[in-house]
A and B are shown apart, each in its own frame.
Chain A
Amino acid sequence: MTKLISSPGPSRFDDPEALSRLKKRHAAERRFRLYGQLAISFAILFLGLLIVSIGSQAVSAFSHHQVTFHLPLNEETVAPNGPGDPEAVEENISGFYQLVREDLARTFPEAGETPARTREVNALVTRLAVIPMARETSEHLDWLGETRRYRTALSDDLDLYLKGAVADEIEISLAEILRAEQIRAEDSDAPPRIRLTSADEFASLRDALARASALTADRGEAGGFSVLVQNGANLVRLLPPYDSQPLLFEPMTGTPANLAGGKPEARIILLPESARNVTDRQIAWTLALQEQGRIRSSLNWALLTNSDSTYPEIAGVLAAIVGSLFTMFVTAAIAIPIGICAALYLEEYAPKNRVTDLIEVNINNLAAVPSIVFGLLGAAVFLNFLALPRSAPLVGGLVLGLLTLPTVIIAARAALRTVPPSIRAAALGLGASKTQTVFHHVLPLAAPGILTGAIIGMARALGETAPLLLIGMVAFVAEVPGGPTDEATALPVLIYKWSTGAERAWEPNTAAAILVLLTFMVVMNAVAVFLRRRFERRW
């Protein structure tokens, strides 16, 4: 055994045994390194996926489709109390909606056939979507009697359809249609049927139908799709069975005879009508309106300028933003001054004793207490015991202030600690008192760092949701709050509420609200980073 020590032996750089052992060790090294890289890639990919999925959802919410109407503003419908009462005009939602309905009925006379169909066409525009229209008119009462042009939001489901979010589609252009003839069935109740004669016997359409059957068969719902043939503003729907000879159609809108000539198109909607929120007829009407140039996509400013609503197409985040601002104002007023004072005490004055130790442990622990526990504190103490108003930014701000306090204290202490003791010694050496030293020298030098920490703490508080739910800030608030004691909701709570909405259109809206929230947070963090860069001092 002593030989190991006594004789180092020959060079071991090429000892085969050592080399094979080394190979294994290096393989282990590479594996280990790979694990590290995998871990980091996982985290970053996840972050990327999160941003991309939310961003792509949000993009569709930032634009929306609007319908143009030319509405005759007759006084009895629009201004029931006469032209002297603009408030009555502004609140006259049913009057304006009636104008919209009448216009739709004029545009699509076939919709008047049954009450069900009338409801179908009226669903193109939500009742409350006329609010901006009413507001605009109430400011221009001289418009009464004229016919004015208005734009209003298309219903959320059809908006999603136009954005391609409802169903996959196959679109094909057809050969010229030579003739369209109406066939009346013997049974007079049955709907009229249309037989079209195509230049190529619908060869391309039949190909597409075969493809659509195959696609839907994969999903286990063979034949579960609809086919619309369009030429200009005239649309017909293919009647099943889709392999009949000849192909028969039923009229949707427009004049079937006008299908002949021109460049007809067909679209196959690969989802059965029963599985969507929009009917084939509504799609046909929407396409006809689009053909007439009455639907266009525009930036959805309403998302920022409107307040909450039960209809996704007119819901916006304004009230929530204002609610969040009030809340943050109270939070900052609580957490920042108290946090700085507490940090000053602990860092500069506190004697080393058990009370101080207790405060320290307590603050460190408080920083790790789940936020929902602060919500419980707010519900029990502020709402139940002190009887402060429910759903108010005041209480939300108090709770978030207490929640943020430990974060601010910890950040402020760290900033105070970076001020070197020599500064304190210099001031004390000139005969300054402890308090003068602290307030004249230490605090100003630590201020940028404290402010940075405080802003980051505020940004975190801005995203807090759970405590606000418990103090009732989840109420439906359609009006912009006027002060910290009014009923209000906050942006993250609005996000939570929207995310639970049943309609599909809430998804892009939620994503858009998230982007608004993240924008605020990014700005706050950017300010903090800027402050740190600009004022950071290296001792």
Chain B
Amino acid sequence: MDDHWLTRASTIKRLWIGSVIVLAATVLMDLAINHHPHFGLDGTFGFGAWFGFATCVAMIVFAKALGAILKRPDTYYDS
């Protein structure tokens, strides 16, 4: 039933490889581009990449922690 080409393991593997190449390329483009940093940190190599990754991990971790306190079954308000 689930034999769509997009869901095959080989396709997914190729997608991962392709993505890693694209990710590396966007970081390497920093070598060729003259950024105009407003401050200091935003001028570091691959700033968008590491900052985007780190802040997203932080947001997921924070959300998970908040969820541990505030999550309830979705029938909570039904009763």
Chain A bound to chain B? no
Residues of chain B touching chain A, judged by Cβ–Cβ distance below 8 Å, are none
